[in-house]
Amino acid sequence: MRTLIFASTLACCSLPVLANQCNVEFNGNMQLENKVLAVKLDNNTKVTIDQNKILYVDGTPLSLNSKQQGWVNSYYDGINQAAPQAAAIATDAVALASTALNEVFVELLGADSSALSDISEKLSNLDQQIQYNFYADNGEIRLHSDAFENGEFFGEQWEAQFEDAMEELVTDSIGHILVAVGTQLILSGGDTDAFEQKMERFGEQMEQKVEYQAEALEEKADELCATLASVDRAEGYLQRNIKQLASLDVIQVENHYSAM
C-alpha cells in the first residue's frame, strides 16, 4: 500500500513540479496557427508575425532596422521552439506516471488486471489533450494562450486532471487491491513484517527508476524556461523600441534563465 501511495503521489505531482521550475504566465491573447503568430494587445491592436518573419500591426507591415528585425526573429522563433518543448515535457510526465502506475498494479494485482487497461485509457486521454493543445491535425505546431487556465503555462488544469484520474483509478480498484494484499499476506503466512519489507523494497526500486527519469524532465523544464525567458527579453525590447508595440507584454517569466 505504501508503494501505491508513492506512485499515486508521483502521478499527481509530476506536472506541477515542472510548473515550479519557473513562473511563466500569459497576459493577453496569443496564438500560433498555420505558422502565423498573432497577438491581440490591450488596446485591441492586432500584431502578427508570419512565417517569413514580417511584422504586421493591424494588417500593415512595418519597416524595421536590422536590430529590430533580429528581435522579431527571436520572438517568433522562441514561441515556435517553446510549444514543442512544453508538449514533450507534459507527454513525458504522463508516460512516467503511466510506467510507475503500471508497475505498481502489476506488482499488486498481476499483469492481467483490468485496472491496467483503465490506467492506459485515462492517461491516454490526458496525453491526447496535451497533443491537441500544442499540435494541429496536420502536425504543425500551434499554441493558444486561452487554453492555459488563469494564463499559467503549466497551470492547475494539469494537476486537476491528474488528481481526478488517479482518484477515480484508485477508487475503482480498491477492492481488487485489498484482495491482492490479503492474498499476499496469506501466502506469507500472515507475516505482515515480511509483506511490508517486500513492499518497501519494491518502493525503493521504483523510486530509483523514477528519480532518473524525473531528473531528465527537470532538465527539459530548465530548457523550456530558458527559451521562454529569451522570448520575454525579445518582447521587452520590441515593447521599448517599436512605438506601435508599446503595450506588448504577453509573456512574463519570473525567474529569468540565461539565453540558450
Q: In the chain, what are the domain boundaries?
A: 2-253
Measured between alpha carbons, how far is 184 from 194 in angstroms, rounded to an integer? 10
| C-alpha cell, 24 | 511563466
pTM above 0.85? no
195 φ, ψ (degrees, to nearest 5) = -65, -40
**H helices within 188-259, ranges in order?**
192-241
CA angle at residue 221 from 223 to 40, to 5 degrees? 80
Q: What is the dihedral of CA 236, 242, 247, 250, to 10 degrees?
A: -40
Residue 149, amino acid: E
Query: Rounded mean pLDDT of 51-56?
Result: 96
Task: Check whether 158 has a pLDDT greater than 60.
Answer: no
| C-alpha cell, 137 | 491535425
Measured between alpha carbons, how far is 217 from 219 in angstroms, rounded to an integer? 5
**Residue 91 · residue 127 · CB < 8 Å:** yes
The per-residue pLDDT for range 228-251, each reduced to its tens digit, is 999 999 999 999 999 999 999 988
In sequence order, what DSSP letters do the residues of 165-195 get, joined into one string? HHHHHHHHHHHHHHHHHHHHHHHTTT-HHHH
Confidence band (pLDDT; 50, 70, 90) for 172? Answer: low
Residue (of 18, 163, 7, 17) closest to 100 by Cα position = 7
The per-residue pLDDT for range 61-108, each reduced to its tens digit, is 999 999 999 999 999 999 999 888 888 887 887 787 777 777 776 766
| Three-state SS at 143 | strand
